[in-house]
């Protein structure tokens, strides 16, 4: 995905790759290809939705549970920062990587808390379901 600065001025910088990576992040969390028209409306609409706190409407609910949508919104926030029109305002790829690793760490912490119940015995509903399957 081409940085608009390159398209308009012919200037390529390290931050041009950051822009392209932001578009890839959008595709991953929305499960939709980034259509690229003259106004870059896909990217502009995504950024506008996140700025107006409507980013959740872009996230594909089929790929996640409600509990994980917050993590995807954080990834969306990283994408928005990658897509800033002024390359000097964008983080470099090392900073983007660091932010994504922080999100992964939060995800792992959340998963561990959610999955650990202190008792490894099956829940009564699970036992009833398994017995019904066996009949």
Range with lowest mean pLDDT among 9-13, 25-29, 72-76, 90-94: 9-13
Residue 45 is predicted with a pLDDT of 87
Q: Tell me how far apart the alpha carbons of residues 75 and 78 are, in angstroms, rounded to a whole number.
A: 5
CATH label of the domain that carries residue 110: 1.10.510.10
Residue 24 is predicted with a pLDDT of 93
Q: Is the pLDDT of residue 119 over 60?
A: no
Residue 18 is predicted with a pLDDT of 94
What is the extent of the structural domain holding 32? 4-132
What phi-psi label fits residue 60: left (phi over 0), alpha (psi between -120 and 50 degrees) or beta?
beta
Q: Is the pLDDT of residue 91 over 70?
A: yes
Average pLDDT over residues 22-29: 92
């Amino acid at each position: 995905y081409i940085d608009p600065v390159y398209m308009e001025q012919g200037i390529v910088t390290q931050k041009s790759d950051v822009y392209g990576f932001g578009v890839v992040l959008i595709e991953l969390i929305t499960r939709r290809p980034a259509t690229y028209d003259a106004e870059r409306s896909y990217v502009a609409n995504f950024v506008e939705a996140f700025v107006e706190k409507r980013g959740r409407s872009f996230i594909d609910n089929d790929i996640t549970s409600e509990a994980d949508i917050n993590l995807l919104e954080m990834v969306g926030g990283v994408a928005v920062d990658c897509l800033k029109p002024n390359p000097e305002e964008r983080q470099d790829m090392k900073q983007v990587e660091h932010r994504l690793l922080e999100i992964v760490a939060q995800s792992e912490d959340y998963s561990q808390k959610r999955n650990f119940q202190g008792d490894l015995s099956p829940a009564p509903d699970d036992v009833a379901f398994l017995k019904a399957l066996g009949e």
